Each structure stands twice: as structure tokens, then as C-alpha cells.
A and B are shown apart, each in its own frame.
Chain A
Amino acid sequence: MKAVMISGRTLAQGAGCEDKMSPLYINEVSCCYLSEEDYRALGLSDGKNLLLTSPHGSAVLRAGVDRGLPQGMVFIPMGPWANMLIGTDTKGCGMPGFKGVEVEVTPTDEKVLDIRELISRGR
């Protein structure tokens, strides 16, 4: 499924902000939220993961439902997983495009990486 990805703050992401190695923070920021319709259309259920691919990178995330989302839009709480999909171009003003990234969303059996694995892949 093609979708537009936006990243942003959530309560759980904020509450875990000063305790970033905690499961609270990690679980929240490794979750990709979809509309109910898209969740059903992709045949997702509890414990199912998603592979998201953008022109800038890819990541495996857990899937969740956010009723406030329209079809065709996915939301990822800001953090290291959302940032796997974001490019470095700042359009000359210092700011990368954290919202409005075109992504391909597919269900996957791959597991969500541990934060240590995720970061060390960049070293």
C-alpha cells in the first residue's frame, strides 16, 4: 500500500523522552499507526509487523490503529524508527521533511530491531 507518512509527538513518546532506553519509549516510537480501514485492508492483527520503505530508507515497525487518521496516511511517533525513513535534504533552511514522506507499507514477518541493533547498523 502506498501512503503518506507523518511523524509527531505523542503522550507516551513524551513521557519516555527522558528515559529513552525504557520499553515505554521504545515500544511507542517503533509503532506505525494506520487508519482502521487500512489496518483491515492489509489484513493486520495484534503482533503483526510492517515494513515501511521510503526513498530514503526502510524500517520494520509494529502496527497500530489510530482512528483519527484518514485512509492513506500513516503516523509514526517521532524517534529513531521514523527517522529511518526521512531524508537529509533541508531545502536550504536547516529542516528535513519530517512530515509528508511517501512510503510503501507492506505486512512482514520480519521482527522489529532492538534499539541497539538499530543504532549499530549505522556505525
Chain B
Amino acid sequence: MDFVKLINCMRCGMCLPHCPTYKETFLETASPRGRVALVRKFQEGELVESEKFLEYVSLCLDCQACASACPCGVNAGELVAEFRCERKQEQGLSTMEDLILRKLVPHPDRLEAATAPLRLYQRTGLQKVVRSLGLLKVFPAALERMEGLLPKLPEAPLRQTINEVTPAVGEQKGTVGFFLGCVMSLIFSEASLATVELLSSLGYKVVTPKDQKCCGAPNMLGHDIDGLKEAARFNTDLFQSQQLDFVVTDCGGCGAELKKYGHHLDGEAAATAFSTKVRDISEILATEAGTLKEKLKPLPLKVTYHDPCHIAHCQGIRSQPRALINLIPGIDFRELPEADACCGSAGTYNIEKPEMSDRVLSRKVQNVQKTGADYLVTSNPGCLLQLKKALSEANPPVKVIHLTELLQMSLNA
């Protein structure tokens, strides 16, 4: 780890009020400033990797809200993640981690096959039986949480059904590559279909290479840097072999990771060139606001927007999604208090740290209810999973949809 990144922290505390775990605990050890200090003191040999130490650093959501707030350009979340990656490299992956991160995640066909039983399970009505009998209670808590989070899965993953090339409608303006996120393809394929439809209706030819692999974000989460590098190399080669103006994704997590390929591969030219082409769907659509506005039809809905960490803090995209929502005639947009605070999903955090995740989530739910909105719009599969469940159970319930689904609704209204 680059020691300068640690001493850059001047301990001003500007990050504290933005950190979800600090806001819940008011403890310095659960704050970005504290986490930087812990890692620094570990590097300086003043602290050892005790159980408490690991507990404190692993409570970090890696939401990077602290990075947005820091005057010195310190990114505490990323520093903690980097620290954990380095420790992992020294210690090696466990058998389970190796199985998931190396043998499953990088192979879309295996991943899809692994989720197929779930599809069957939901479709045959078995899910209802299991839920009503409370059978899940006998499973470990983590499994029960995971099961509870899953919405109804689509018939088939989008990767299997989408055409490699979707032609532009009307005059072709350019060609974009579409990066399918694993979770978007497996679970939120309707939103991704909407993304492709929007792009083609605006004159973009959309190329969706079927061989693409997971972006590598799960490897980063699992602190598996080598696996991440492998994914970065593969996807770079695949997309760079095509003539593309942009590489577009509608998954905040993928976008944030893809934009860092250059960094992950230590500035390799091809990876850097690839990263500079990556755009979140809202960035592309915002440049087409004029054309889009003419096509959108009125939707009389009360809508609010949750900033996914991977969009707002990691990519600095805040105004575009709001501007796009406001393009829709008749929409009643209400700003969400603490809109860019993490929802508690944070990769697998909601399964690993259920207690803190729930506290962070319940703050989000309360804020959503303050807006009185019927719809919450967001654009990251982790947030969609977490918030769909929580807000369907809220009183009154709030519908949760992807930004492109809202725009498509208006397009087809």
C-alpha cells in the first residue's frame, strides 16, 4: 500500500458526518478517519491484526461517501479494501472463496446454471411452500436473508436471449458496446432490455458480446486482486476488438469497476483506453436529452431518486439521473433526504453484517417515506435488490425501479 495515501489524511473529520457507520454508532473506530488511522497504525507496527481490528475494518461498507467529502482526496473506503486485498494476497483464498470467485463468478454459463434451480424453485410454486412452512428458518440465517431478497427471476438470463447486435432505429448515430452486469442479466433483465431499447431508439447500434465475463467487482469485494486483473484483461480484449464509440452499462457497480480497469492493470494502454470509453447509461442519455424529451410522454407519478454509491461516490454522477427523470412531462420529482447515503446493500455486506446493514437500510426507508413518493428510482442491482424488498414491506409500499425502466414507461405511455 502506498503510505502517502495514508498520511494524506489530515484528520480534519470532514468525512465523519457522511459515513453511514459513524452516523449509526458515533464511534471514531467506525469512522473513515478512524479506519485510515487503524490501517496506518497497523502499517507502522503500532497495532496488530486482532479480532477487534478486523471487526472495525470489516464494518466499512466501502460505500466511499467519505471520499466524496474528503478535502484531501483520501478515499478511506478504498484504502480499507486495498488493505484487506493485500492481507488476502498474503494469506491466500479459502477453498470456498476460490470456488466462488475463481470457478463460478468468471464463468457466466456456470453462474447461470447455478441460479437455474432457483428459477425452477420460484416457478414451480415450491417457494411458496417453503416460505409458508417456514422451512428456511432451519437454514442458516445468511441463506434465509439471501432467499428473502430475491425477487421473481426472469424466464431466462438476458445474456442468453439478447441479440449480439441490436440495430439503431432510424439514422445510425454511433455504435456502443453493452456491458451486461451479472446480476442485471440474471435478475433485472427487463431493466437492461429497456436500456438497449432506449439506446437503439436514440440511433445507437448496440453490440452485446456474449462472451463477456463478470466485471470483477465480486473479486474486489472478496479481496481477490488476481481474479480481478484476469477479468479486466479479458473484457478489455473482448471489447477493444470491436469498433465502439462507447461501452455502456446500466449497472453502477460494473461501471465503477470498468472505469478503473486502467488503474487495476497499472496503466496498461489498452485497459486505459477501454476505461475512458465506459459510460453509465445516464451519462449517454443525458447527452441526448433534447431528442429524448420529444419522445417522452406524460407520467403522473410521484418519484424520488436514490443515488447508488457506485454511481454518485465512485463515478461522480449525480445530476444526470435527476435531469433525466425531470424530462418526463407531468412527473412530480421529490428529492430524497440523504439521497447519496448507502442503502446498506454494499455487495454482500447485507449478508455478512446483517445488523449494521439493517440499521443503515431502515434510515434509508424512513427517508424515502418522508418524500411521499410512489416510486423510488435507482440504477444499481444491489440497491434494487435491497430496496425492492424493504420498500415492498413498508407502509405504504413504494415501488422500486431502474432509471431506464421509468424512462421506458414514459416512452411507451
Bound together: no
